[in-house]
Amino acid sequence: MKISVCLASYNGEKFIFEQINSIISQLDEIDELIISDDSSTDMTLSIIKGFNDSRIKLFPGNTFYNPVYNFENALKQSAGEVIVLSDQDDIWLENKLPVIRQRFNNKPPNIYTIVLDGQIIDENGTVIKESIFETLGSGKGIIKNLIKNTYMGCCMIFTRDLLEKVLPFPKGIPMHDSWIGLLSELYGVVEFVPMKTIQYRRHSDNRSLRGFSFSRQIRWRYALISNLVRRWLEKKSLDLK
């Protein structure tokens, strides 16, 4: 089973070395770490190249200026049977890929997505919350996750066949993780697994911490709902054939 870890980087010099180091120590020889870089201007690319590891496949020179489409590019470059999403500034615990391999070696025979729990740490690596799930109230439910998204990309893993359903990403969606999570529920089996496998780093540059206007949040929800309905209608049409 080949695993593709997909990471979207942008000016991540402060934390990316620690994250990549925690990932590649768990990769098998056939696995890969796909990194799509979105016009970094700091030392990010030099740090990545410094690992000199053939399992790291770097795609620099992109001009998306948007994490959603930077992640989309990483997904398009992947070749693994199992896709693992990764942020550039977290730390993987040593059990991350062993847990994934165990779950996916015994997966159901259809599209399969799991969401794993983790700790929340601050900029200095101090644990500030013991559980992402408890902090967010994480769990399944399309309506629930449209109201408040609890699908965090850094916690998500899924089978390759889901890519046929989620790509290309529609314009106007707020983030890739909510879109992937909602379509996972629509087309496959989703499990929230209460095992802690990462340390999610919360700091001032996290996109999820920034405040957005009410009007922008409404536009994002409209984009999610309208595109989700469109995919649902496509699925119903195919089911009737």
Mind giving me the DSSP string for 65-128?
Answer: -SHHHHHHHHHHH---SEEEEE-SS-EE-TTHHHHHHHHHHT--SS-EEEEEEEEEE-TTS-EE
What is residue 209's predicted lDDT score, i.e. its pLDDT? 37
Give the integer Cα–Cα distance in Å for 221 and 215. 10
Work out the average pLDDT over 44-71.
97
The pLDDT score that the predictor gives to residue 232 is 77
Average pLDDT over residues 169-198: 95
Burial class (CB in 10 A: 0-12, 13-18, 19+), 237: exposed
pLDDT at residue 80 in the model: 98
Q: Are 162 and 124 in contact (CB under 8 A)?
A: no
Residue range 65-120, pLDDT digits in tens: 999 999 999 999 999 999 999 999 999 999 999 999 999 999 988 999 999 999 99
The residues that bridge with 58 in the sheet, in sequence order, are 35
144 has a pLDDT exceeding 90 = yes
**Is the model's pLDDT at 208 over the cut of 80?**
no
Across 38-59, average pLDDT: 98
Instruction: Tell me: pLDDT of 207 over 60.
Output: no
Mean pLDDT for all residues in the chain: 92
Residue 156 has pLDDT above 50, yes or no: yes
Instruction: Identify the structural domains of the chain with CATH numbers, from first to last.
Output: 3-240 (3.90.550.10)
pLDDT given at position 230: 83
pLDDT above 70: residue 211: no
Element (H, E) at 23: helix 16-24
User: How sure is the predictor about 238, in pLDDT bands with cuts at 50, 70 and 90?
Assistant: low
Q: Token digits for 226?
A: 């309208």
Q: What is the pTM of this model?
A: 0.92
Report the alpha-carbon distance of residue 158 to residue 162 in Å, rounded: 7
